[in-house]
Structure 1
Amino acid sequence: MLEVRDVHLSFGGIKALQGVSFAAKPGEITGVIGPNGAGKTSLFNAISGFYQPDRGQVFFGGNDISHLSPDRRAEMGIARTFQNIALFRGMTVLDNIKLGGHTRLRTGLWSALSYFGPARREELELRREIEEKVIDFLEIDHIRKYPITILPYGLQKRVELGRALAMQPRVLLLDEPVAGMNREETADMARFILDVQEQFGITVLLVEHDMHMVMDICSHIVVLNFGQQIASGTPAEVSGDPGVIEAYLGAAA
């Protein structure tokens, strides 16, 4: 479903990614881990189109998308969340999630300006679909009319996941989905990620520092360190890899 081939990315003299290659299998959860500064978010930005790699290719469904813009990749079915919450703070939960469906709207400019006929029907259908399939799924119906600014951090992260799901993605990129959450919020988010994979068949690629969650829900893990890929395999294989142990705990350990 998603393949990264020999991707290199640098910023001046800083080499953020050096020859990273892996594949995310359809319908599975793949984790990307590594210490701070390993290049995990840079990798996500290269996959989603925010950064253009110096060298290498990104394939989606067998097609080379390396030179496509972020909005074109979103239309094809790549959705993402962000390490730092990127919601529109002056809007409600429902309106934030509805924005995720913009790539699927086909109403023309003049119809949208008048907001009659096809434009109105299309938006009402989108709202009904989101309320039934996304808001109910994430168990946030009771806050759908609340402004984002009054919600606790954990619920805001859940809303951001909802906005990505409203795109009906084929691949979902989750950048530190449980960062800053307490134990209960982390368990809830892990459950939702598993349900996304199992119920919708979406291929999930996630970056996360919570090793317990990564080892529990991922079928395959890629490990980065200083921009280089140092390991790739099942959770059991990766957790016992000497290079991974050294990167996280130091050579003495």
Structure 2
Amino acid sequence: MLSVSDLHLSFGGIKALQGVSFEAAPGEITGVIGPNGAGKTSLFNAISGFYTPDRGRVAFDGRDITGLSPDRRAGLGMARTFQNIALFRGMTVLDNIKLGGHTRLSANVWQALAYFGPARREELAFRAEIEERVIDFLEIDHIRKAPITALPYGLQKRVELGRALAMQPKVLMLDEPVAGMNREETADMARFILDVQEEFGTTILLVEHDMGLVMDICAHIVVLNFGQQIAAGTPAEVARDDEVIEAYLGAAA
């Protein structure tokens, strides 16, 4: 579903990515791990189109998308969340989630401005679908009219996941979805991620520092260190890899 081949990315003299290559299998959860500064978020930004790689190729569902803009990638079925919450803070939960479906609406600018006929029918149908498919799924019906600023951190993270799900993505990219959460919030988010995979068949690419979560829910793991890919395999294989152990724990003198 998603293939990255020989990806290179640099900022001046800093080499953020150096020859990263991996594949995310359809319907599976693939984890990307590594110490701080390993290049994980740079990799996400290159895959989603925010950064243009110096060299290499990104393919989505068999199509080369390396040169496509982020909005065109979103239109193909690629959605993501962010390491730092990127919600519209002056809007309600429902409105934030509805914005995720912008790629699926077909009304033209004049129909939207007048808000009658096809535009109104389309938005009402989409809102009903969002309330049934996303809000109920994430168990946030009780806060759907609440402003984002009134919500605790864990619920804001869930709303951001809801906005991504509103796009009905084929590939869902989650950048540190449980960062800053307590144990209960982490367990809830893990459950929702697994439910997305199981119920919607979504291919998930996950960047996360919580090794317990990664090892529990990922089928395949890619390990980065200083922009280089040092290991890839199943959780058991990665956990036994000497380079991975050295990158996380340091080598004995």
TM-score (norm 2): 1.00
Give the whole-Å Cα distance in 1 for the aligned partners of 2:227 and 2:110.
47
Structure 2 counterpart of 1:52:
52
Misfit runs of 4+, over 3 Å:
none
Give the whole-Å Cα distance in 2 for the aligned partners of 1:125 and 1:99.
14
Give the whole-Å Cα distance in 2 for the aligned partners of 1:50 and 1:133.
29
Structure 2 counterpart of 1:12:
12
Give the whole-Å Cα distance in 2 for the aligned partners of 1:79 and 1:242.
34
Q: Which runs of 5+ in 2 are unaligned?
A: none
Residue 121 of structure 2 is aligned to residue 136 of structure 1: no
Quick one: percent identity of the two aligned structures?
Answer: 84
Q: What displacement does 1:149 show?
A: 0.0
What letter matches 1:18 in structure 2? Q
Give the whole-Å Cα distance in 1 for the aligned partners of 2:112 and 2:64.
33
Q: Deviations over 1:62-91 (max 9, x none)?
A: 110000000000000000000000000000
SS at match of 2:111: helix
Structure 2 counterpart of 1:229:
229
What letter matches 1:103 in structure 2? T
SS at match of 1:160: helix
Structure 2 counterpart of 1:211:
211
Structure 2 counterpart of 1:93:
93
Q: Deviations over 1:187-211 (max 9, x none)?
A: 0000000000000000000000000
Residue 190 of structure 2 is aligned to residue 193 of structure 1: no
Structure 2 counterpart of 1:77:
77
Q: What displacement does 1:99 show?
A: 0.1
What letter matches 2:213 in structure 1? M
Give the whole-Å Cα distance in 1 for the aligned partners of 2:115 and 2:60.
35
What letter matches 2:166 in structure 1? A
What letter matches 2:120 in structure 1? R
What letter matches 1:206 in structure 2? L
Give the whole-Å Cα distance in 2 for the aligned partners of 1:62 and 1:75.
15
Q: What displacement does 1:252 show?
A: 1.3
Q: What displacement does 1:212 show?
A: 0.1
Give the whole-Å Cα distance in 1 for the aligned partners of 2:175 and 2:252.
31
How many residues were matched structurally?
Answer: 253
Give the whole-Å Cα distance in 1 for the aligned partners of 2:10 and 2:30.
24
Q: Deviations over 1:6-40 (max 9, x none)?
A: 00000000000000000000000000000000000
Give the whole-Å Cα distance in 2 for the aligned partners of 1:43 and 1:234.
20
SS at match of 2:100: helix
Give the whole-Å Cα distance in 2 for the aligned partners of 1:233 and 1:111.
50
What letter matches 1:57 in structure 2? R
Structure 1 counterpart of 2:172:
172
SS at match of 2:84: coil
Q: Which runs of 5+ in 1 are unaligned?
A: none
Q: What displacement does 1:226 show?
A: 0.1
Q: What displacement does 1:146 show?
A: 0.1
Structure 1 counterpart of 2:32:
32
Structure 2 counterpart of 1:162:
162
What letter matches 1:248 in structure 2? Y
Q: What displacement does 1:47 show?
A: 0.3
Give the whole-Å Cα distance in 1 for the aligned partners of 2:114 and 2:98.
19
TM-score (norm 1): 1.00
Q: Where do residues 229-248 of structure 1 align in structure 2 (5 Å cutoff)?
A: 229-248=229-248
Give the whole-Å Cα distance in 2 for the aligned partners of 1:230 and 1:135.
39
Q: Deviations over 1:127-167 (max 9, x none)?
A: 00000000000000000000000100000000000000000
Structure 2 counterpart of 1:251:
251
